[in-house]
Amino acid sequence: MIEMDENEYIVSRIAGMKIINKTRYYLIEWEGYELVENTWERENNVYSPHSISKFIEDYYAKDKKRVRDTSDCELENSSRAVQDIRKSFRPLLLDAPKEFQDTFNFVINSVKINFPVVRAQNHQRINNVPLYVVKNLKARVTIYNDIDSDLPNDFIYTDQLLYTAPVQQPDPNFLSGCNCSGSDDCSSGCHDTVVYDNKGRLAVKQGTAIYECNNACECSINCKNRVVQRGRSIPLQIFKTSKKGWGVRTTQTILKGTFIEEYIGEVITTEECDKRGSFYDEHGCSYLFDMDFAQGELPTKYAIDAFIMGNVSRFFNHSCSPNLEVFAVYYDSADVQMHRLAFFASRDIKKNEELCFDYNGREDLQQIEDEEENPARYSCHCDSNECRKWIYM
């Protein structure tokens, strides 16, 4: 029998919900008490995720089937993964403006679930903690949580950008390519700058745009100048941290200049980005990343939003002493304002070290300390000797 403190009570079920000043309250029916003794409680006071999930399900009349707790069992097939992932967005969408609900629901229901999360076999447990695996990836991604029973199942894992209207996918007819007569040695001669060495590691400094060979080039996918477009080859692990939520660490040593992963999500306009950003700030979450390499000459037109869909890079945390750098990469777009965002190792990285980049990026933002000028700031928990204490978003 579970022993309980005198001020602890058991939730029988949740009977209602209301939102006051952006705070969600639930009407609680208490185990062993009459209905007249029901009380309204703040969401963070209700330690019953099961009851909340059940209420959210019933709130949506489309589907009254009970959500199965994926943290206690292996997903048997991708259809169950689809169901659990799509249900997990619903609590936050209840607070979203109508236009966001329509857009988000369209994206959620249109993206194919090609990479479901499954529980690994028992012999792969670490310290008797279950290990989970993202299926169908070329390079392995595992999920490990020895803090609590949560899983990062509130997004759709994907390896492709989604271009959300009115943004159009880049037109390959505008690409111009090199003429190397079928050779795969494009490391010199056909490009103004050699960006990769013979081992495929970076040979340029941060701030340099990377122009890889593209579909208009005569070289093959094995060309030395095709690194990011070949995809991630480093195995990574998503893990629960003690202070920062989810993070990512490497399961092997990584040498400086190695390509790690590309930032993936929805490609949206900056106007849409601003609208979503205000909503995300209210809820303390944001996965927006500007395509701003050309901003010195042209305004930023596009951003990537990994809130609904993304890959492992969605969980890279901030550090004031980062081991990753972000580069603008062009290989499918002739538009200077639309580029890929790729992470490379800025130094040698040890096995099991967390992968982090500097969210602030530009030095001018790093020096701002006035909270009134930057209301969207968060405490930094990077524990670096050079920690600036705040992250400005």
- CATH at 267: 2.170.270.10
Any idea what the CATH number is for the domain that residue 1 is in?
Answer: 2.40.50.40
pLDDT digits (tens, 9 = 90+) for 314-348: 999 999 999 999 999 999 999 999 999 999 999 99
Phi-psi region of 147 (alpha: psi -120 to 50; beta: other; left: phi over 0): alpha
Strand 266-269 vs strand 131-134: parallel, antiparallel, or unpaired? unpaired
d(CA 270, CA 235): 33
At 16, the amino acid letter reads: G
* Residue 188 belongs to a domain: no
235 and 251 in contact (C-beta within 8 Å)?
yes
* Residue 191 belongs to a domain: no
Quickly state the pLDDT bin for 243 (edges 50, 70, 90): confident
Q: How many other CB atoms are found less than 10 A from the CB of residue 391?
A: 21
192 and 154 in contact (C-beta within 8 Å)?
no
Pair 14, 159 in one domain:
no
At 227, the amino acid letter reads: V
| Binding-site residue positions for Zn(2+) | 178, 180, 186, 213, 217, 219, 223, 320, 380, 382, 387
pLDDT, average across residues 176-188: 69
**pTM confidence score:** 0.75
Pair 159, 20 in one domain:
no
Pair 43, 131 in one domain:
no
Pair 261, 152 in one domain:
yes
* Residue 31 belongs to a domain: yes
**Which one is predicted more confidently, 315 or 40?**
315
d(CA 291, CA 277): 15
139 and 233 in contact (C-beta within 8 Å)?
yes
Element (H, E) at 374: none
Pair 11, 138 in one domain:
no
Pair 365, 273 in one domain:
yes
| Binding-site residue positions | 178, 180, 186, 213, 217, 219, 223, 320, 380, 382, 387
Omega within 30 of 0 (cis) for the link into 166? yes
> What is the CA 194 to chain-centroid distance, rounded?
31
Q: How many other CB atoms are found less than 10 A from the CB of residue 39?
A: 13
Pair 129, 34 in one domain:
no
Strand 156-157 vs strand 162-163: parallel, antiparallel, or unpaired? unpaired
Q: How many other CB atoms are found less than 10 A from the CB of residue 51?
A: 18
Pair 121, 245 in one domain:
yes
Pair 159, 291 in one domain:
yes
Distances (CA, A) of 322 to 52, 220, 254, 308: 37, 34, 14, 26
* Residue 195 belongs to a domain: no
Q: What is the pLDDT of residue 99?
A: 77
pLDDT, average across residues 357-376: 54
Pair 15, 157 in one domain:
no
**End-to-end distance of the chain based on CA atoms, in angstroms?**
47
* Residue 205 belongs to a domain: no
Q: How many domains does the chain have?
A: 2
* Residue 194 belongs to a domain: no
* Residue 209 belongs to a domain: no
- State residue 53 phi and psi, 5-degree precision: -60, -40
* Residue 202 belongs to a domain: no
pLDDT digits (tens, 9 = 90+) for 89-131: 556 667 677 778 888 888 887 788 899 888 888 888 888 898 9
DSSP string, 326-380: EEEEESS---TT--EEEEEESS-B-TTPBPEE-SS-SHHHHT---TTT--SEEE-
Domain that holds residue 162: 117-174+231-392
Pair 256, 342 in one domain:
yes
Pair 381, 258 in one domain:
yes
